[in-house]
Structure 1
């Protein structure tokens, strides 16, 4: 699967170089001159940025998944329609093509399943899917667009298909790290190279953040549930398995320097705070319920180690974002 995703990423990079150089503003879903045919991904992109999918037509998927921040949000908790607060921090919508669990609690097993849930969620876009479909079919542009792409009217299935197809284009692989592992020994700074060794070795980050997108697609309890102040049950809410109380999906780390704040509850404002937590969890949360054994004792990393680790994580930033991350 990872080999397939790598191949898809490389093809997408070659085919869409202009997309990376230009802004992330949505392109028109259809060229009025007829020169450029409408595709599923272009239709999905149009829908992703269109507030037509929210009950009061005020927010879109991109309102919380901001392109300039690697399709994540800068708020601890995003705001849905009428200013309603969402339940968890908004994760990046990038590099999800190979994922087998979506959302912090893993309640969706495909991008098609994931794409519809924020639309229907009362504190997000608050639009029942049946109503969303009726709205699209009543809109002259979208009625024509869905017939052109799918040869049928908009439906729950075709809406999910279009959005998921667009999300699968949001793959990145043009980072200093990628150039380094592909043979450019100068692509990583000395600090980032040292941080990579710490990441793989003494810090053991790669135990969970493994693979091409730096996630093992597992659920872990890192101690952010204590049943008192920190009460989100995580994966337990889906499985009802008491052994998964406080477990959350291990996120990928590509472009992580852009996606602050961090964790399912957005409790850490900076990458440095995240690293300091892993280094000494008890300094932040005491009595975390069934914290993973890998965090049972402090890592005892030095300040230099933490600085090097942070440099390595910055090196996972795709080139399209480099100017923003340097600001």
Structure 2
């Protein structure tokens, strides 16, 4: 049997534009085509026909800027990947020298820590932020299986009788609270930054309550940390798409920021020049956390300062590298290169070798916008210092190197990938049944389309950036491709892509088009190829979030942007009952969010299929998922009533580092596999 219809096109676009309710005439043909696929797949004789093998992630080109564009910056891609991996895992990137990018992305690219991982509802619009810790009554709570799911019903399959609800967020601990207008100095020896810590006690300093008995705990991010593995396939990054598809050299916001953020040597003179590198959302995303006052940094630190701190330090000093590390193995011994050395290897000289310095001012610091949209940096300290070109351009080097490293983190060897490539035995019977449900009754494929298993993928979005969708309430609205309101929380608690950037412009591409700002969207956005919204009421973006890919989802709990589900079965229960907050989101709810009527065996089969999306290289941390050593703060020493002050800085709690250090892992992997969140079985309700 041969399939002639390209499955990617079917699943990623037709099923989404024509939902499957049986009263729609067009649905019958679509349902039949989906049935052909399922019959074909379940028949056992799976061939490697293009329409089927295209579902393997191995068939998808790695997105990114063209070689011609990238080579304007990068001289040696191998060295740039080495630089990116070192920076990603280096705890000194954080102001406290304990917070690396990997601190929130260490387990299958996500974060499975359990203590002090709760944030209150800080993104609520009305009547304002909710600073009440409902789980544990205070920060430093230790998550347990009994805490989940955050929203509970009398019947797992019926959203009619809600028993209890929490609007907390299970996320990732970051850094301690510092003053919005505080001073920051960095150490020339690579030590921790000297920062202006203030009490986060709500009343005294307008804080958010990350404080127990007058001692600060680490702040926790207001959204769950998504996996960085396969993030290269996202057209935009972050849950709300702030990680712009165009990289501007210095912050997450692409062409929205009109100010040049990098310095180039031109005819022997260093001048500021604009950078607009398309297809580079990973670089845009990477530029945000190192200056975030919640995630990694003391407020008011500029990227120039991070360059001053790190450039002349050996890579990963104090952290072990396996001699068999797939990228950094040759640097495992004591004679490690400095970050400046790798920058010079990786990047073209016109970006780092100007012999002169330039004056870096407060205006320069403010030119790069903060990703902390609620409390941006003030930069009231005096930045008038003469700085070398490599320091001035450290944001460019850091972000592009991270992008190139993360572009190698592709997990495309799952049982599912092998199955659609022709190995009929790669899935067991339960997983095959789950695939049929995924494609049909479960409606999963309508949002998780294509080989990337996400409609927010680069390939899908670039084929059409905006689309018109028949909403659950019967209206028809324009939306950002790949961003959906699925009723996880009432949209007023977190508007997602319905929010705004630091200049008050919409994050949503649909709203940008409505506001005649399409020229800022990049990647050859064409108004002629996209539907034009008639007005604000013709757009569906409130409470909409990026659809994540599903590979390795077994290992990346807790789930959704609020982290409110602990197991895959809890996620399936959510969809089966038609979400948790369908009524509250009715005006913006995606049409496929409705009760599914799955039986218990069908739900278990769907969970089994989702487990088949785990790449064993990820589970065992084999190359390219191997890594240096890293110690992870596991909450504060103490509990929710009392925490021990840190001896060096009594304003902040002492980190609990007992059993918190991961050893280095080489290309052949670890002897201990990654487990699920809280070690829970995926099928647990």
TM-score (normalizing by structure 2): 0.41
Give the match for residue 77 of structure 1: 171
Distance across 2 between alignment mates of 1:38 and 1:98: 20
Give the match for residue 441 of structure 2: 202
* 1:195-227 CA distance string (max 9 Å, x none): 000000111100100111200101000012325
Q: Is the 8 A contact 1:225 1:233 kept in 2?
A: no
1:149 to 346, 361, 382: 346
Q: Is the 8 A contact 2:110 2:228 kept in 1?
A: yes
Unaligned runs of 5+ in 2: 1-7, 9-53, 63-76, 114-169, 177-217, 246-280, 315-337, 353-389, 457-481, 501-505, 512-535, 621-672, 680-685
Q: Following superposition, which runs of at least 4 residues in structure 1 exceed 6 angstroms of deviation?
A: 1-5
* 1:25-46 CA distance string (max 9 Å, x none): xxxxxxxxxxxx9611111001
1:96 aligns with 2:270: no
Q: Which of the two has higher C-alpha Rg?
A: 2
Distance across 1 between alignment mates of 2:220 and 2:231: 24
Give the match for residue 564 of structure 2: 267
Q: What's the offset of the Cα at 1:165?
A: 0.5
1:6 aligns with 2:180: no
Q: Closer, same or farther in 2 for the Cα pair 1:3/1:185, shift >3 Å?
A: closer
**Number of residues of Structure 1 aligned to a counterpart in Structure 2:** 295
SS at match of 1:191: helix
Give the match for residue 253 of structure 1: 550
Q: What's the offset of the Cα at 1:4?
A: 12
Give the match for residue 233 of structure 1: 495
Q: What's the offset of the Cα at 1:316?
A: 0.3
Distance across 2 between alignment mates of 1:190 and 1:61: 39
Q: Closer, same or farther in 2 for the Cα pair 1:324/1:58, shift >3 Å?
A: closer
Q: Is the 8 A contact 2:56 2:420 kept in 1?
A: no
2:591 to 273, 282, 293: 293
Give the match for residue 19 of structure 1: none
Q: Is the 8 A contact 1:5 1:98 kept in 2?
A: no
Q: Closer, same or farther in 2 for the Cα pair 1:41/1:279, shift >3 Å?
A: same
1:128 aligns with 2:180: no
* 1:79-102 CA distance string (max 9 Å, x none): 111311112100000112222110
SS at match of 1:39: helix
Distance across 2 between alignment mates of 1:220 and 1:169: 28
Q: Is the 8 A contact 2:230 2:410 kept in 1?
A: yes
Q: Closer, same or farther in 2 for the Cα pair 1:269/1:55, shift >3 Å?
A: same
Q: What's the offset of the Cα at 1:182?
A: 1.0
RMSD of Structure 2 on Structure 1 (CA): 2.5
* 1:213-249 CA distance string (max 9 Å, x none): 2001010000123256xx0111111326563110000
Distance across 2 between alignment mates of 1:50 and 1:112: 17
TM-score (normalizing by structure 1): 0.83
Distance across 1 between alignment mates of 2:675 and 2:92: 32
Q: Is the 8 A contact 2:80 2:342 kept in 1?
A: no
Q: Is the 8 A contact 2:283 2:403 kept in 1?
A: yes
Q: What's the offset of the Cα at 1:9?
A: 7.6
Give the match for residue 55 of structure 1: 95
Q: Specify which structure has the higher proportion of helix.
A: 1
1:161 to 379, 393, 400: 400
